[in-house]
Amino acid sequence: MPDEKILYEVKNKIAWITLNRPESLNAVNRDMVKAIVGYCRDAEEDPNVQVVIFKANGERAFSVGGDIKDRVKSNEAGTAEPASPLIARQDKFNAIPGTPAPAIAAMNKVTMALCHGYTVGTGLLMSLACDIRIAAEGARLGVSEVRLGFMAGSGGTQRLPRIVGLPKALEICLSGELYDAAECHRIGLVNQVVPYDQLIPAGEKLAQSFLKGAPLALRYIKDAIYKGMDMTFEQGLRYESDLQSMVMQTEDAKEGPKAFVEKRPANWKGR
């Protein structure tokens, strides 16, 4: 799916999805949403990909959010699509109009967002849908939809309180204010804060630590943690036990201990 506004590259088991519209501060329009969703599908189906990293070109912004000019044109032309939860239910890689967040959240691969500059609206919703967020010093994060007459949808109002807690999530969503990287790290919104020129190296370093793990184990760990959040503790323990039984029957569960005893890197098969 060639699209110069969205770049896609796979290298060393890491898929890089790059927003490449710096002249518009990486504002995301509908064509870009379709491209990102398509690349999410490609990465999910590629057995050579274990980690997916989202980043953006241009020093000023990861993304300032959805393309408001695009939205205004659609409204005036009567072609704006109403957001519907049915869209996401039909196919996990069908995005709610305006954001690829549902497709990102649906991925079984480990996902990471490298946030810098303005990470606002759709930009933040994309990063919230990722498993890991690393921010550059000076980054400004927030959801400003309320100041445009919208609300933070596509899972934003559900993921944010699960990440930072209810009171702070309410403050962030209701105020539309932007928060600096240091504050975002303090409240747990981002995992790390690094200098801008170390953002990509920091992402690569963390990705390499994930790549040391077995692919199916990574997938089951994500599944256990996310689904367990919506279960009682006892239900979560049972679900974890079921997944543990499944992963222990894989070839990789035999390869891991063998590689440890032989003092060599494991040769994961993903089965």
**How far is the CA of 175 from the CAs of 61, 64, 71, 113, 165, in angstroms?**
21, 17, 22, 23, 16
For the segment 140-147, the average pLDDT, to the nearest whole number, is 91
Q: What is the pLDDT of residue 89?
A: 42
Average pLDDT of the chain? Answer: 89
Report how far residue 175's alpha carbon sits from residue 193's, in angstroms, rounded to the nearest whole number. 23
What DSSP assignment string belongs to 174-218? HH---EEHHHHHHTTSSSEEE-GGGHHHHHHHHHHHHHTS-HHHH
pLDDT, one tens digit per residue, over 93-123 is: 554 556 899 999 999 999 999 999 999 999 9
Q: What is the pLDDT of residue 155?
A: 84
Report how far residue 49's alpha carbon sits from residue 12's, in angstroms, rounded to the nearest whole number. 8
pLDDT, one tens digit per residue, over 54-98 is: 999 999 999 998 776 665 555 444 545 554 443 444 455 554 556
* CATH number of this structure's domain 215-261, picked from the four choices 1.10.3470, 1.10.12, 1.10.287, 1.10.150: 1.10.12
Closest CA to 172 of 156, 191, 193: 156
CATH topology of domain 6-211: 2-enoyl-CoA Hydratase; Chain A, domain 1 (3.90.226)
